[in-house]
Amino acid sequence: MATFGNLSDRLAETFKNLRTKGKLTAADVDGTVREIRRALLDADVALEVVKAFTGIVRERALSDEVNKALNPAQQVVQIVNEELVQILGGTQRRLEFAKKPPTIIMLAGLQGAGKTTLAGKLAKWLAKDGHTPLLVAADLQRPNAVTQLEVVARQAGVAVYAPEPGNGVGDPVKVARDGVKYALQKVHDVVIVDTAGRLGVDAELMKQAANIRKAIDPDEVLFVIDAMIGQDAVATAKAFQDGVDFTGVVLTKLDGDARGGAALSVASLTGRPIMFASTGEGLDDFEPFHPDRMAGRILDLGDILTLIEQAQGAFDEDEARKVAEKFATDTFTLDDFLGQMQQLRNMGSIKKMMSMLPGAGAMKQQLDNFDEREIVRTEAIIQSMTKLERTTPKLLNGSRRLRIARGSGSSVTEVNQLVQRFDQAAKMMKTVARGGMPNIPGMGPIPGAPFAGGKGKQVQKKKGSKSGNPAKRAAENAALAAGVKPVTPSTDAAGSGFGIGGGASTAQPGKGKAGGPSAEEMEALQKMLGR
């Protein structure tokens, strides 16, 4: 995650130095804790939190659980991971829905934190779970805030209640109260109230937010905070806690490039859990906050569970089963390939998904250089083909490829590369579908693994004559084809290139040695020699 990128790099470098040591001394632990302290302070984590965190890590790192561990370095990483999870809230906190609908959720925070956009993201996320959310435009202070909420609601496909035009006109407390009544009439089971913010904490802001809370009695009050706010995050959070008393925290702009460590301090110092995280500008860039998964991302341990959940949400199981059958029966086409790529795009940013893999920090440069528009170019090339060309790529001759390149705004070389990659991928997946181990390009077959088809049998060598005489080789191959073992000269006789002489005691009268020349052949040979 970009916001915690610098902190992640610093911690990874610190742990790298530990892995070279078989046993950790007190000096090693102190040096590691010192580097962790510097990394957290540089990331704008509150001093109070840093002191408590490093104190616990040092105490546990010097205990018997590390001294008796087979790999002390990994044990220290595990300790840091566990304590980082505790800073982030310990366990995931879910929304608490009202026993009698509607569930009322109030959003509070400073202006510019992203409350209005977050309202749409939260509403769309709830709608996916079968809820019928209603957005209430109670931010009547900021210019065009009501219009923005209406646009966001339209994009999210949810209802909105906006009786006042805003821009300083209207009573936000009355709008919030009437919005709850409207939700009861229209049978909406969730109400999300978007309130006004200010550029800074002031008495007027807190009084208005407190009056709205008193009027609607919300089930959840979510404090929306910008992850890039810096050290002021703690003071702002405490001010809202004293003035409004929120029940949960939402982090926004986690895709930014700021240090973002101050957000780690909020949950620890306020005692309120981080419940959601906004990871991008799109309405789908929104996810529940899991402290253990976030700690894994910060320490470059990966977040496989979130990646699996995103894949399950984007890919159709029935479609995946059909594609697997097509791989096995060698009927996978470029149309199917296009469909798979489009499903992959539905999962979101490829860079973001790859960053969830363990050890992704080591591939930071490759991820930065990755161009996500390459998928769009590939789609354009395939969509420039005719239906017949997609189902039968063998038809793609030179003139067809030139036409496709012109139609997609690419070069013939790019078209050739796409077809080549498609052929390789189809062959590999066909092998896997049949239970075999594919030959990975540049690596060759894996030793001990079954070959294509999953049979696990070695390919038999082709039998045939190895004679250097063309006439003799043809005669022996013909004999093999007819199922007759060819007659070969014996090599038991010493000093004779024709196999003559010696071994007479084993020869039958009139037939010569077994496998040797017959009497007729000997007579013909003597005539040839003039005897």
Residues placed in the known binding site for GTP: 109-116, 194-198, 252-255
User: What CA–CA distance (Å, rounded) separates 171 from 140?
Assistant: 8
User: What CA–CA distance (Å, rounded) separates 58 from 69?
Assistant: 16
Q: Which of 233, 238, 165, 224 is nearest to 193 (CA)?
A: 224
**3-state DSSP assignment of residue 248:** strand
Q: What is the DSSP letter of 199?
A: S
> Residues with Cβ < 8 Å from 122, sequence gap 6 or more?
105, 133, 192, 276, 286
Between strands 274-278 and 286-288, the pairing is: antiparallel
User: What CA–CA distance (Å, rounded) separates 147 from 153?
Assistant: 10
Burial annotation 400-423 (CB, 10 A radius, 16+ → b, else e) = ebebbbeebebeeebbeebbeebe
Give the phi and the psi of residue 87 in degrees, each rounded to 5.
-60, -40
User: What CA–CA distance (Å, rounded) separates 282 from 256?
Assistant: 14
Give the phi and the psi of residue 133 in degrees, each rounded to 5.
-75, 155
User: What CA–CA distance (Å, rounded) separates 352 from 255?
Assistant: 9
The CA–CA distances, whole Å, from 41 to 8, 259, 300, 465 equal: 13, 10, 19, 79
Rg of the chain over CA atoms, in angstroms?
Answer: 37
User: What CA–CA distance (Å, rounded) separates 334 from 417?
Assistant: 14
267: tokens are: 């949950």
- Residue ranges for the known binding site are 109-116, 194-198, 252-255
User: What CA–CA distance (Å, rounded) separates 108 from 236?
Assistant: 11
User: What CA–CA distance (Å, rounded) separates 237 from 263?
Assistant: 10
The DSSP-derived string for 46-81 is -HHHHHHHHHHHHHHHTSHHHHT-S-HHHHHHHHHH
Tokens 């991928």 sit on residue:
425
**3-state DSSP assignment of residue 404:** helix
> Residues with Cβ < 8 Å from 471, sequence gap 6 or more?
none
Give the phi and the psi of residue 194 in degrees, each rounded to 5.
-90, 115
371: tokens are: 């161009």
**3-state DSSP assignment of residue 474:** helix
DSSP H helical ranges for 228-287 = 232-243, 263-270
Cβ count within 10 A of residue 229: 23
Contact 109, 115 (CB under 8 A): yes
